[in-house]
Amino acid sequence: MSEHIKLFIPGPVEVRRDILEAQTQWMIGHRGKAFESLFARIQTKLRTVFYTQQRVYLSTSSGTGLWEAAARNCVSDDPDAGVLATVCGAFSERWADVFERNGKATTRLTVPEGEPITPELVEAALRARQADPTKKPFEAIAIVHNETSCGLTNPLAEIVAVVKALSPETLILVDAVSSLGGVKIEFDALGLDVLLTSSQKCLGLPPGLAFAAVSDRALAKAHTVRNRGYYFDFVEMEAFLRKNHTPATPAISLMFALDRQLDDILAEGLEQRFARHRCLAERTRAWAKQRFALFPREPYASDTVTCVKNTRGIDISALNAFLAQRNMHLSDGYGALKGKTFRIAHMADTTEADIAALLAAIDEFLGE
Ligand SMILES: *Cc1c(COP(=O)(O)O)cnc(C)c1O
């Protein structure tokens, strides 16, 4: 095996050795009994992790594939309807772009990076829509729960409450790629319609799988939408899910690892897991405020990734070269924030000792 560099980047994250090794089981066919029981076990556990009694589709793709799925299944090509895409950073902007490139009428609600999407802004956008006689209600709203590019968590429950009150027919599509499994998100209780994530972030798996809880309401909508495509068609996924199958050959090796990791996640306990993430975040934030500053407005700072404002103007590449000698690696700022910020992920199976070692190493670099 190659040298082990511990990853503190917001995906792909560090994966435990036994999870990596779980991928090396003998191959099984995806139309046989062994697969069906693997799929069924995984489905039961995924529903627990997503807090849903509806369904969780498993996709052999990264999370981006399920962005496309949400766009193609939940929004029609009606130019007078479409999606309200909330944008608060690089990932939410990219999801808005996915809607557009799939030919969906896309209305952006954009805030500066580091600022949250507030319920007040969503309310204003929904009211403006209602006041426009040439337009129909939004078919969907898209929200990135945890904007990984700037380490910010949006107030999801408050936003959802506004949508339910003002525009109950609007489907609520949520990207929780960098939060699901690290922060509590109750799909059924919140009344969400699509909640998607990737394997390589808070779930602590290698990249290659993505998951989406999908409501009955979203599935019913998909039946009415034309041109859903093939690979990401919810109607197709549903028909196969009912037989404990996937439409095409899935990444079976990754499913072996997932089966094992979901056991470990549930053995840790979801509440305990969320508390651990919060604890690691508090520790990292306290350090960041002492040495630098937080980039996002503090009450909205993420519990899974801390985006530090580079107030000392340190060279992030030099920092990473220094950390590499200690077998650690963190993330530079994303896009326009490169050099101006750096990011420390504290998600998945990261421990207090891991974070303590990383922060001590950065202090050594700083000469603190
Ligand atoms: C990483 C990330 C994505 C992209 O996911 P992929 O699995 O790389 O396709 C989307 N949204 C957020 C918030 C992310 O952090």
Model confidence over 195-252: pLDDT tens digits? Answer: 999 999 999 999 999 999 999 999 999 999 999 999 999 999 999 999 999 999 999 9
CA of 314 to the centre of ligand 1 (A): 27
Residue from 62, 254, 331 whose mutation best tests the ligand 1 pocket (most atoms within 8 A of CB): 62
CATH for 6-14+269-366?
A: 3.90.1150.10
| Residue closest by Cα to atom 2 of ligand 1 | 177
Phi-psi region of 356 (alpha: psi -120 to 50; beta: other; left: phi over 0): alpha
- Helices in 174-296 by DSSP H: which ranges? 187-190, 216-224, 234-241, 252-268, 270-291
Measured from CB, residues less than 6 Å from any atom of ligand 1 are 10-11, 62-64, 91, 144, 146, 148, 175, 177-178, 198
**In this model, does residue 1 exceed pLDDT 80?**
no
Q: Residue 64: is its pLDDT beyond 80?
A: yes
Ligand 1 site-directed mutation target among 94, 97, 148, 183, most atoms within 8 Å of CB: 148
User: Identical fold at 6-14+269-366 and 17-266?
Assistant: no
Task: Give the pLDDT confidence of 161-205 residue by residue, as tens digits.
Answer: 999 999 999 999 999 999 999 999 999 999 999 999 999 999 999
Are 123 and 164 contacting, i.e. CB atoms less than 8 angstroms apart? no
Q: How far is the CA of 366 from the centre of ligand 1 (A)?
A: 31
* pLDDT confidence tier of residue 54, bands split at 50, 70 and 90: very high
Is CATH 3.40.640.10 what the domain over 17-266 is classified as, yes or no?
A: yes
Q: 2 falls in which pLDDT band (50, 70, 90)?
A: confident
- In 3-state terms, what secondary structure has residue 26? coil
Element (H, E) at 172: strand 171-175
Strand 55-59 versus strand 293-294 pairing type:
unpaired
Could you read off the pLDDT of 293-347 as tens digits, one per residue? 999 999 999 999 999 999 999 999 999 999 999 999 999 999 999 999 999 999 9
CA 336 to ligand 1 centroid distance, Å:
17
pLDDT at 23: 98
**CA 37 to mean position of chain CA atoms:** 27
Average pLDDT of the residues of the chain:
98
Distance 136 CA to ligand 1 centre (A): 30
**100-140 pLDDT tens trace:** 999 999 999 999 999 999 999 999 999 999 999 999 999 99
Which atom of ligand 1 is closest in space to residue 149's alpha carbon?
15
The mean pLDDT value for 257-269 works out to 98
The residue to mutate among 177, 178, 254, having the most atoms of ligand 1 within 8 angstroms of its beta carbon, is: 177
8 A C-beta contact, residue 266 and residue 44: no
Helix (H) or strand (E) holding 330: strand 328-332
Mutate to test the pocket of ligand 1, among 7, 150, 178, 304 (most ligand atoms within 8 A of CB): 178
The pLDDT of residue 82 = 98
How many Å lie between the centroid of ligand 1 and the Cα of residue 91? 7
| Domain locations along the chain | 6-14+269-366, 17-266
* Over residues 275-290, mean pLDDT: 98
> By alpha-carbon position, which residue is closest to atom 12 of ligand 1?
177
